[in-house]
Structure 1
Amino acid sequence: MIYLDYAATTPMREEAIHVFSEASRNYYGNPSSLHDIGTKANNLLESCRLEIAQSISGDPKGVFFTSGGSESNILAIRSLLNGKNQKNGAHLITTSIEHSSIFNLFKQLEKEGYLVTYLPVNHFGHISLTDLENAISENTVLASIHHANSEIGTIQPIEEIGKLLKKHGILFHSDCVQTYGKVPIDCTSSQIDSLSISSHKIYGPKGVGACYISPKVKWNSYFENTTHEKGFRPGTVNVPGIASFITATQLIHKEMKDDFKRYTQLREMLVDGLSKFSRRIQIEGHSDSVLPHIIGLSIEGIEGQYTMLECNRHGIAISTGSACSVGKQAPSKTMVAIGKSSPDAKQFIRLSLGKQTTKEDIYKTIDVLEIITSSY
């Protein structure tokens, strides 16, 4: 089977599996325990915290380990808003194409008394800095804008966004789950107050992630009387999983430049191959400001669900969008936001490349999509 769904999740790399096994065997203590075994686990945990901080140019005091990207998003925003100690009338800004964990959280926050502006995007999936500035009011306290879209890969102008929000004294959270380990992230130069990352997107274990909140900003825990992770979240810390996550982090950052170049070449092969046999296929998203390993496309007249099932029948695993939205009847909100009608939005599919993707996989995928397109 050819796997082209790396944006949904990745297989664990052997080095991460090995570290998980060794850490489980040798660092099994609870890092909150005061005996030597607990101290040994805590020392490893703190070294892992430092590694995450260095990878994003942050302060290790602001790194908190979680169960993944969704929890990191939710707890970061909730904790920052708790630090503001205000609700009714407070204004928040996000985009219309955020990951479901953030989009659904903001819908819940509206029910709790917050006012929310959902920024539109253009047909490339970019927000307008003018729209962002016009949305800001004297009551705006926080904005959450992702680094890159998980369905079409469009990268937002994160540094310009951070500069604008900082000028107005607005907290800035960014979902960096898809970009971490794929492109450089510098929370200092981007003036990001908090961000989220996830292990299973970079060949580490599932159920592990991290949240960064700058020590310069105030936050209060969403969970009262919590002691783990400096009061950020409850539950015994998963030291073996975190150690495995750090191994994946170190390796993917070492390989990042080479991976980016290779994914760009494979993407160009795929796009060129598809353009030669069908004008019905449209590549979605930005052509330059994009994560090269994510290719969103629409096939005119064919629902994405059918294309996905036919690809699966031919031994190729793709998706119809974000894994967190699969199974819903509604079309992709990203496709609708970039101007597609509901029927056209349902024609969307996503191919995402990874370390095991080869040129032969790309050639086979082109052939299969040609068969599907020509026979429908």
Structure 2
Amino acid sequence: MGKYVYMDNSATTPVKQEVLDEMLPYFTEKYGNPSSIYTLGSQSRNAVEISREKVAKALNAKTNEIFFTAGGSEADNWALKGVAYANRKKGNHIITSKIEHHGILHTCEYLEKQGFRITYLDVDEYGIIDLKELEKTITDETILISIMFANNEIGTIQPIKEIGRIAKDKGIYFHTDAVQAVGHIKIDVDELNIDLLSLAAHKFYGPKGVGALYIRQGVKIDPLISGGAQERNRRAGTENVPGIVGMGKAIELAYENLDEKNDKLIRLRDRMINKIFDKIDHVRLNGHPTNRLPGNVNVCFEFIEGESLLLSLDMAGIAGSSGSACTSGTLEPSHVLLAIGLPHEIAHGSLRLSLGDFNTEEEVDYVVEKLIEIVARLRSMSPLYEKVKEVK
């Protein structure tokens, strides 16, 4: 295989070598069940608790507020269902946004069938909710506000501190799906008034299949999984010790020299955006121009289909996405792009390139060079584009 450029870090990231090295002993040498009382089990239990401390430190949370899960979607499900059922006597109203990850949206759809009332907030052209609209939507029945920290497709960062303040003032729990943000943005759950927060290790160079839910002490929440007494009787099932160990190491590494890493990513991101707009016409940048994830580039190329673009990029040795990895197998345009006001025909031509720690300036230039060629070739087959050229 020739040159290969991976630019889909929002979908998943490779496990860093230091993370893998930390995990390996817990597959073969220190394989004890953390619930066992003998030495082998104690080794695993200690490793789990050390990782819990690392995750808590990254969020400025208390160690006993971190609960390990099998990933971000499980954490989202637990936050919404757990709070909804535990607080049903207080109210049955939940507020979220139209651009949430499907881990939130599909859970809300499920809860609607169970008799809960869900309000889906609109967003502006950049994907940001209206704080005044949020306040107007709150009723005496509202028990939870769930707004994602940063969007997985367009990279826009929400006004989390302001949302947290509104929720706290109204005595409402505030959950944020921070799967795309943890490891990439500094997060202080106390400063931001966050009550529940979802995260997943594989978004910051840890292993897949492991995540966590931060639950502020005092939050009333039901367990999602019943069974044994693991995770202080709140999440049954034998812990994924190697995964948890890997997540602890990954989050520790993620916040080392974070500002320096983000400065590099922003330079690469802006270089790519500027080159695309300089060399290709009829392009739209999706998401906020500056208030976005450091490595996120999301653009729409008019007069072409995103699927054809992705296949052509793959043939050139470039991995990108048309949006969320959870929906990339569908032919429907992104719900996020539709929510920010794009018509179907333009939303179909979307491309998300998400840069990571291992990407270089040389790779950025290579991808843009290939994009110029591919877009030109695909548009040469578009009757609509030919008509636009004739008008010019």
TM-score by length of 1: 0.97
Indicate the residue corresponding to 1:260 in structure 2. Answer: 262
Q: C-alpha deviations, 1:81-116, integer Å up to 9, x for none?
A: 2321449x6110000000011110001100100000
- Contact 2:230 2:239 (8 Å CA) reproduced: yes
Output the amino acid matched with 2:298: G
Unaligned residue ranges in structure 1 (runs of 5+): none
Indicate the residue corresponding to 2:52 in structure 1. Answer: 49
Indicate the residue corresponding to 2:291 in structure 1. Answer: 289
Q: 1: distance between equivalents of 2:261 and 2:248?
A: 18
Indicate the residue corresponding to 2:170 in structure 1. Answer: 168
Output the amino acid matched with 1:357: N
Q: 2: distance between equivalents of 1:342 and 1:134?
A: 30
Counting only pairs closer than 5 Å after superposition, residues 61-72 of structure 1 correspond to structure 2 as 61-72=64-75
Q: How far is the alpha carbon of 1:281 from its aligned partner?
A: 1.5
Q: Residue 339 of structure 2 is aligned with which of 316, 331, 337?
A: 337
Output the amino acid matched with 1:308: L
Indicate the residue corresponding to 2:206 in structure 1. Answer: 204
Indicate the residue corresponding to 1:59 in structure 2. Answer: 62
3-state SS of paired residue (1:254): coil
Q: How far is the alpha carbon of 1:326 from its aligned partner?
A: 1.4
Counting only pairs closer than 5 Å after superposition, residues 77-92 of structure 1 correspond to structure 2 as 77-86=80-89, 90-92=92-94
Q: 1: distance between equivalents of 2:227 and 2:307?
A: 46
Q: 2: distance between equivalents of 1:161 and 1:291?
A: 19
Query: What is the percentage of aligned positions where both structures have the same residue?
Result: 38
Indicate the residue corresponding to 1:298 in structure 2. Answer: 300
Q: 1: distance between equivalents of 2:234 and 2:186?
A: 26
- Contact 2:301 2:350 (8 Å CA) reproduced: yes
Larger mean Cα displacement after TM superposition, 19-28 or 238-247: 19-28
Indicate the residue corresponding to 2:322 in structure 1. Answer: 320
Q: 2: distance between equivalents of 1:223 and 1:323?
A: 25
Q: How far is the alpha carbon of 1:279 from its aligned partner?
A: 2.3
Q: How far is the alpha carbon of 1:26 from its aligned partner?
A: 3.6
Counting only pairs closer than 5 Å after superposition, residues 190-229 of structure 1 correspond to structure 2 as 190-229=192-231
3-state SS of paired residue (2:326): helix
Q: Residue 134 of structure 1 is aligned with which of 133, 136, 139?
A: 136
- Contact 1:93 1:116 (8 Å CA) reproduced: yes
Larger mean Cα displacement after TM superposition, 270-279 or 345-354: 270-279
3-state SS of paired residue (1:211): strand
Output the amino acid matched with 2:142: T
Q: 2: distance between equivalents of 1:19 and 1:40?
A: 14
Indicate the residue corresponding to 1:103 in structure 2. Answer: 105
- The alignment of Structure 1 onto Structure 2 pairs a total of residues equal to 375
Say whether 1:357 aligns with 2:359.
yes
3-state SS of paired residue (2:352): strand
Q: 2: distance between equivalents of 1:291 and 1:186?
A: 17
Indicate the residue corresponding to 2:390 in structure 1. Answer: none
Q: 1: distance between equivalents of 2:232 and 2:98?
A: 33
Q: Residue 188 of structure 2 is aligned with which of 186, 189, 202?
A: 186
Unaligned residue ranges in structure 2 (runs of 5+): 380-392
Q: 1: distance between equivalents of 2:236 and 2:347?
A: 40
